[in-house]
């Protein structure tokens, strides 16, 4: 069975995260793998979910990789199993709806695995609540895949606090901030201009841009906007992405007249 780099449901026969922090790290790794399958690697994921094959499942791994494979044969399995037969509905639904449905089931699976570990290693009420609160800080996979990410006031507050400290950043940080501002202008004018402004007004404009993007989340990894990172906006779906998540550098972006994210590019290739 072809896979996205996974090696099994866990990370080895003795893999057992025992603390809240370890379970949360496991959750984040599996979540990142699933998001990768349903966004950046969606063409490969789509191809592997052949309706002519047997019941298939989508697994995410702590290593941030994913795999489409048959369910475990042992009963009960080592860990809770993802939804069976995701491949059967592939050609009977609109692709966006099918991916969103797989995302919903993936969210449910992530929670079941996390709280399976919690139950197995005796997390008390306080630990379970802490684990859930840590998990709940992230947008769901469904919100990312469907584009309906809800704006969290807490994330906005966090970004505002970050913005208040930007005056202490070095010149490199300021240049990176201008890059974000320039990208926003580029999206409107349909051309890339990544050279920072030299006048003092640029700083005021950038602070306004931070407020505008305070609730923006990366369409690939789901993490929120950070002024010290390179971002790029898709001209088709208008979602924002970390440059590193879609393998686009500032130098490469200068030569792109119209940027299409991996998901939009894949849809166009199959249509």
* Cα distance between residue 243 and residue 171, in whole Å: 20
- The whole-number pLDDT of residue 12 equals 44
Buried b (16+ CB within 10 A) or exposed e, 138-168: bbbbbbbbbeebeebeebeebbeebbeebee
Q: Which residues have C-beta within 8 Å of that of residue 102, sequence separation ≥ 6?
A: 38, 58, 83, 86
Question: What pLDDT score was predicted for residue 1?
Answer: 43
**DSSP bridge pairs for 233:** 240
Q: What is the pTM of this model?
A: 0.56
- What's the chain's Rg over C-alpha atoms? 20
Q: Quick one: which of 186, 166, 164 has its CA closest to 176?
A: 166
Report whether pLDDT(137) > 90: yes
Mean pLDDT of the chain: 76
| pLDDT at residue 30, as a whole number | 97
Nearest CA to 114 among 125, 103, 105, 123? 123
User: What tens digit of pLDDT does each residue of 185-213 get?
Assistant: 444 433 333 434 444 444 455 555 555 55
Distance of CA 159 to the CA centre of its chain: 18
Q: Tens digits of per-residue pLDDT, 1-44? A: 444 433 344 444 456 788 999 999 999 999 999 999 999 999 99
Q: Could you report the per-residue pLDDT of 236-252, keeping only the tens digit for each?
A: 888 888 888 888 888 77
Position 259 pLDDT exceeds 90? no
């Amino acid at each position: 069975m072809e896979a996205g780099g996974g090696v099994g449901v866990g990370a080895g026969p003795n893999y057992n995260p025992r603390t809240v922090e370890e379970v949360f790290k496991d959750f984040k790794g599996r979540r990142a793998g699933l998001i990768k399958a349903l966004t950046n690697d969606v063409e490969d994921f789509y191809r592997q979910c052949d309706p002519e094959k047997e019941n298939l499942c989508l697994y995410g791994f702590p290593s941030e990789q994913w795999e489409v494979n048959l369910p475990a044969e042992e009963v009960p399995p080592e860990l809770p199993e993802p939804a069976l037969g995701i491949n059967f509905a592939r050609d009977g639904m609109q692709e966006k709806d099918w991916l969103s449905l797989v995302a919903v089931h993936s969210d449910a699976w992530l929670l079941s695995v996390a709280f399976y570990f919690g139950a197995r290693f005796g997390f008390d009420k306080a630990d379970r609540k802490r684990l859930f609160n840590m998990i709940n800080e992230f947008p769901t996979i469904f919100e990312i895949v469907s584009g309906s990410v809800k704006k969290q006031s807490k994330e906005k507050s966090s970004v505002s606090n970050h913005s208040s400290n930007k005056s202490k950043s070095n010149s490199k940080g300021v240049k990176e901030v201008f890059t974000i501002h320039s990208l926003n202008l580029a999206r409107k004018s349909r051309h890339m201009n990544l050279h920072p402004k030299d006048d003092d007004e640029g700083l005021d404009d950038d602070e306004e841009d931070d407020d505008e993007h305070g609730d923006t989340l990366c369409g690939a990894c789901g993490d929120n906007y950070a002024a010290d990172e390179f971002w790029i906006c898709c001209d088709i779906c208008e979602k924002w992405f970390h440059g590193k998540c879609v393998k686009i550098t500032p130098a490469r972006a200068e030569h792109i007249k119209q940027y299409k994210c991996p998901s939009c590019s894949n849809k166009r290739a199959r249509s």
